[in-house]
């Protein structure tokens, strides 16, 4: 008897301990122990439960993937209907909402909670005596589908509430979603298996949650944020929505750290703007913000109409996807000769701007989408990203729409095209004899991040090239006011200004100069690292592949591109003429390079840090443009390992990923 009692209390203790660490890891994002220590606890629990199957409980952390595949989902009637939200698309509509609330409540200033509106799948969780007994989708608001088995696999959803003073019945509502990183990983896997990719994280989350086999859902990195209460029986209730959320968090439920309490509607609009501007930095997609009157008594007085509460409003971001038509497909010739197809569109308002072009990337993409002139298409513009053509509405296609034929000759100079880089890139074979390539190269050389020649825009470059005023970038430094004045629409003042900016650009940095040369695959940050490592163009041009590949993040593709570039005599001559034309720089500073050296890198953080929390470390990295991900892969640049780094360290060593400790990390942050 005593032994059985000991086992029961050992099991209970282990389960509590694991729940506690799960909560800190998945809900608070502040792990207390290493991944390997967590694995050890789980293994102890698994083996103890295996030895004592009669002591198994449904809320045990080992039971997240216990269910058998289903033949369908049962229907669930929600105890309290799951409401939807009224939408607003303009500041005026938001102010009108506030005005109505003020009038009904007879107050002049309302306290609101502002929450990001996740683009996920609404679910309701039901806890009885603290145990998760059911999870249901929203369905039509009254009846949804029973997805309990699948929801149990989501680690940020507690199977048992923490703490003691929770209600006997609690229904919590929130959003199940797939973070961007999980979405990308899922689609990488779909692609590698030749399976259909998901169109967006919302569809992927819905598809993952509605799997009949919970083992498949368990492989999908779904997460959950709760945002409201459905029903509660027993336990004291709070006076405000913000306090309710704090209480839900204390029971182990995950709430969004971006939620913010503000006074008055103008502060709501400021919070909206802030989230609109920073949405791309969030690890998940949001499609707007939700404003909620904070006071629960005030919410009750305002009540609901139809299916939506009068005390809440969704303020939607401008749509990121829209339907339009393809008017034509043009080919742009880039500075390296790559032919990029561009869809010319019926102008459409999307993502807050009017879009009339969308990149089609390459000929493979045209084939994959099978896009044809005249097609109705879905366009996506998210954040600052170049608008993309997502899909073709083929059922709307005209019977006579012909498949697109990729050109066999450069549309700018007529030279033959050649397939490059495994056939993905099609290039014009004429090199800088092709005026389109030359114009693009000069535009790149003069661009802000390269030589920064103010006033040298596309039209002017085209004139200079088409009229044979310049044949290469070095000719820019031989121009004078007279030569420029001879051009169309170029007065003395503009010509003088341009000569002055060309003159200013003579003082540059080695990194800008290397970037400006337009060596294929050498972007801004690679140029920075090359400048720091070699200190001069001569040293870089004479370096062998092994030396070049010692530069962080430079692999064989970049080193061979550099070698090919400097092997061409005319490139060396142009560089010499640029130097003779007065282009010069000081030695690059290590500090400047270190800052940008981190941008664009991928970092994984593991283990506990001494001087800051992991979320602070993540934020600081993200502020420097670093992608912080949760799992180590061949694409990881650094693994930041704190104490007790766990299995991620093993994986990083196996993959040859560079491991840095906290001290090195702080140095990198500068």
Nearest to 602 by CA among 658, 520, 529: 658
Sign of CA dihedral 360, 364, 365, 370: positive
Q: Cβ of residue 626: shortest distance to ligand 5U1, in angstroms?
A: 27
> Exactly one of 19, 49, 98, 115 binds ligand 5U1 (CB under 6 A); which one?
115
Q: Cβ of residue 118: shortest distance to ligand 5U1, in angstroms?
A: 6
Judged by CB under 6 A, the chain residues 278 through 297 that form the site for ligand 5U1 are 290
Nearer to ligand 5U1 among residue 308 and residue 669 (C-beta): 308
* Cα(502)–Cα(479) distance, integer angstroms: 9
Q: Cβ of residue 290: shortest distance to ligand 5U1, in angstroms?
A: 4
Contact call for residues 378 and 323 (beta carbons, < 8 A) = yes
H/E stretch holding 274: helix 265-278
* Site map (CB under 6 A) of ligand 5U1, residues 244-283, x = contact: ----------------------------------------
* Site map (CB under 6 A) of ligand 5U1, residues 30-69, x = contact: ----------------------------------------
> Exactly one of 15, 26, 117, 363 binds ligand 5U1 (CB under 6 A); which one?
117
Which residues have C-beta within 8 Å of that of residue 179, sequence separation ≥ 6? 201, 221, 223, 283, 284
Nearer to ligand 5U1 among residue 85 and residue 162 (C-beta): 85
Which residues have C-beta within 8 Å of that of residue 663, sequence separation ≥ 6? none
Q: Cβ of residue 111: shortest distance to ligand 5U1, in angstroms?
A: 16
What six digits make up the tokens of 615? 């979320």
Nearer to ligand 5U1 among residue 271 and residue 290 (C-beta): 290
Nearest to 84 by CA among 212, 207, 175: 175
Nearer to ligand 5U1 among residue 173 and residue 443 (C-beta): 173
Nearer to ligand 5U1 among residue 84 and residue 184 (C-beta): 84
* Site map (CB under 6 A) of ligand 5U1, residues 496-515, x = contact: --------------------
Q: Cβ of residue 303: shortest distance to ligand 5U1, in angstroms?
A: 12
Nearer to ligand 5U1 among residue 289 and residue 617 (C-beta): 289
Nearer to ligand 5U1 among residue 268 and residue 603 (C-beta): 268
> Would you count residue 125 as binding ligand 5U1 (CB under 6 A)?
no
Q: Is 613 exposed, middle or buried (0-12, 13-18, 19+ CB in 10 A)?
A: middle
Q: Residue 115: beta bridge partners? A: 290
What six digits make up the tokens of 403? 């498949």
Listed ranges 115-123, 264-272, 328-336, 548-556: which one lies at the site for ligand 5U1 (CB under 6 A)? 115-123
Nearer to ligand 5U1 among residue 155 and residue 227 (C-beta): 227
Nearest to 278 by CA among 119, 176, 384: 384
* Cα(42)–Cα(18) distance, integer angstroms: 7
Q: Is 261 exposed, middle or buried (0-12, 13-18, 19+ CB in 10 A)?
A: middle
> Would you count residue 113 as binding ligand 5U1 (CB under 6 A)?
no
Contact call for residues 584 and 507 (beta carbons, < 8 A) = yes
What six digits make up the tokens of 577? 């003429």
Nearer to ligand 5U1 among residue 15 and residue 117 (C-beta): 117
Sign of CA dihedral 45, 48, 49, 54: negative
Strands 507-509 and 584-586: parallel
Integer angstrom CA distances of residue 422 from 52, 364, 400: 57, 11, 32
Sign of CA dihedral 32, 37, 43, 48: negative
Nearer to ligand 5U1 among residue 64 and residue 227 (C-beta): 227
Contact call for residues 351 and 319 (beta carbons, < 8 A) = yes
Judged by CB under 6 A, the chain residues 64 through 103 that form the site for ligand 5U1 are 83-85
∠592-593-595 over CA atoms, to 5°?
A: 70
* DSSP per-residue string spanning 57-122: -TTSGGGGG-PPPPSSPPEEE-SS------EE-SHHHHHHHHHHHHHHHT-S--EEEEEEEESSEE
Quote the DSSP letter at residue 416.
B
Contact call for residues 391 and 369 (beta carbons, < 8 A) = yes
Nearer to ligand 5U1 among residue 117 and residue 372 (C-beta): 117
* Cα(511)–Cα(528) distance, integer angstroms: 5
* Cα(345)–Cα(325) distance, integer angstroms: 6
Q: Cβ of residue 72: shortest distance to ligand 5U1, in angstroms?
A: 26
Does residue 117 have an active-site annotation?
Answer: yes
Which residues have C-beta within 8 Å of that of residue 62, sequence separation ≥ 6? 42, 45, 46, 49
Listed ranges 114-122, 142-150, 389-397, 617-625: which one lies at the site for ligand 5U1 (CB under 6 A)? 114-122
> Would you count residue 228 as binding ligand 5U1 (CB under 6 A)?
yes
Q: Cβ of residue 310: shortest distance to ligand 5U1, in angstroms?
A: 10
> Exactly one of 155, 166, 202, 227 binds ligand 5U1 (CB under 6 A); which one?
227
User: Which 3-state string (H, E, C) describes 562-613?
Assistant: HHHHHHCHHHHHHHHHHHHCCCEEECCCHHHHHHHHHCCCEEEEECECCCCC
| Residue 466, φ and ψ in degrees, nearest 5 | -65, -30
Nearer to ligand 5U1 among residue 165 and residue 281 (C-beta): 281
Which residues have C-beta within 8 Å of that of residue 385, sequence separation ≥ 6? none
* Site map (CB under 6 A) of ligand 5U1, residues 304-323, x = contact: -----x--x-----------
Nearer to ligand 5U1 among residue 144 and residue 646 (C-beta): 144
Q: Which of 2, 32, 117, 164 is catalytic?
A: 117
| Residue 361, φ and ψ in degrees, nearest 5 | 65, -70
Number of residues that bind ligand 5U1 (CB under 6 A): 11
Q: How far is CA 182 from the centre of its chain?
A: 10
Q: Cβ of residue 279: shortest distance to ligand 5U1, in angstroms?
A: 14
Q: Which residues are catalytic?
A: 117
What residues make contact with ligand 5U1 under the rule CB under 6 A? Answer: 83-85, 115, 117, 122, 227-228, 290, 309, 312
């Amino acid at each position: 008897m005593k032994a059985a009692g000991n086992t029961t209390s050992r099991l209970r203790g282990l389960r509590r301990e694991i729940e506690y660490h799960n909560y800190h890891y998945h809900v608070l994002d502040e792990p207390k122990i290493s991944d390997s220590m967590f694995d050890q606890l789980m293994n102890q629990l698994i083996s103890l439960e295996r030895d004592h199957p009669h002591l198994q409980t449904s809320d045990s952390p080992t039971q997240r993937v216990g269910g058998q595949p289903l033949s369908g989902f049962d229907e669930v009637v929600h105890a309290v209907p799951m409401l939807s939200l009224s939408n607003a698309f303009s500041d005026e509509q938001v102010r009108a909402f506030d005005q109505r609330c003020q009038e009904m409540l007879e107050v002049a200033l309302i306290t609101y909670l502002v929450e990001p509106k996740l683009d996920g799948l609404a679910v309701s969780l039901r806890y009885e005596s603290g145990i998760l007994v059911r999870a249901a989708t929203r369905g039509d608001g009254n009846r949804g589908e029973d997805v309990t088995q699948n929801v149990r696999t989501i680690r940020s959803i507690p199977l048992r509430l923490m703490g003691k003073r929770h209600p006997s019945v609690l229904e919590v509502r929130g959003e199940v979603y797939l973070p961007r990183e999980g979405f990308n990983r899922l689609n990488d896997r779909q692609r590698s298996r030749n399976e259909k990719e998901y169109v967006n994280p919302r569809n992927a989350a819905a598809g993952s949650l509605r799997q009949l086999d919970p083992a498949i859902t368990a492989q999908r990195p779904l997460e959950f944020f709760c945002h409201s209460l459905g029903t509660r029986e027993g336990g004291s209730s709070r006076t405000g929505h913000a306090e309710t959320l704090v209480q839900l968090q204390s029971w182990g439920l995950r709430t969004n750290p971006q939620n913010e309490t503000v006074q008055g509607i103008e502060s709501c609009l400021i919070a909206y703007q802030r989230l609109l501007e920073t949405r791309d930095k969030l690890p998940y997609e949001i499609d707007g913000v939700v404003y909620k009157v904070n006071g629960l008594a005030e919410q009750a007085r305002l009540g609901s109409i139809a299916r939506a509460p009068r005390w809440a409003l969704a303020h939607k971001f401008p749509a990121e996807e829209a339907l339009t038509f393809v008017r034509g497909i043009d080919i742009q010739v880039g500075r390296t000769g790559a032919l990029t197809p561009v869809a010319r569109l019926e102008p459409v308002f999307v993502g807050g701007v009017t879009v009339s072009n969308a990149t089609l990337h390459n000929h493979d993409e045209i084939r994959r989408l099978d896009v044809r002139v005249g097609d109705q298409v879905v366009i996506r513009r998210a954040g600052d990203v170049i608008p993309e053509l997502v899909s073709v509405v083929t059922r709307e296609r005209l019977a006579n729409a012909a498949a697109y034929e990729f050109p066999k000759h450069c549309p700018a100079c007529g030279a033959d095209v050649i397939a490059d880089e495994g056939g993905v890139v099609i290039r014009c074979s004429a090199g800088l004899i092709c005026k389109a390539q030359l114009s693009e190269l000069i535009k790149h050389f003069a661009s802000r991040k390269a030589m920064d020649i103010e006033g040298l825009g596309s039209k002017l470059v085209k004139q200079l090239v088409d009229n044979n005023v310049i044949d290469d970038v070095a000719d820019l430094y031989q121009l004078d006011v007279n030569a420029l004045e001879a051009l169309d629409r170029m007065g003395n003042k503009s010509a003088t200004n341009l000569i002055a900016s060309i003159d200013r650009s003579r003082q540059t940095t080695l990194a800008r100069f290397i970037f400006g040369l337009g060596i294929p695959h050498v972007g801004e940050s690679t140029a920075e690292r090359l400048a720091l490592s070699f200190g001069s163009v001569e040293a870089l041009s004479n370096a062998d592949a092994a030396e070049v590949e010692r530069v962080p993040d430079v692999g064989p593709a970049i080193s061979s591109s550099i070698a090919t570039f400097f092997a061409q005599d005319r490139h060396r001559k142009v560089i010499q003429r640029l130097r003779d034309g007065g282009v010069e720089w000081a030695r690059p500073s290590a500090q400047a390079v270190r800052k940008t050296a981190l941008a664009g890198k991928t970092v994984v953080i593991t283990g506990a840090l001494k001087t800051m929390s992991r979320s602070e470390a993540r934020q600081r990295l993200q502020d420097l443009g670093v992608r912080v991900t949760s799992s180590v892969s061949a694409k990881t640049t650094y693994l930041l390992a704190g104490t007790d780094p766990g299995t991620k360290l093993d994986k990083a060593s196996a993959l040859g990923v560079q491991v840095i400790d906290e001290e090195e990390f702080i140095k990198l942050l500068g």
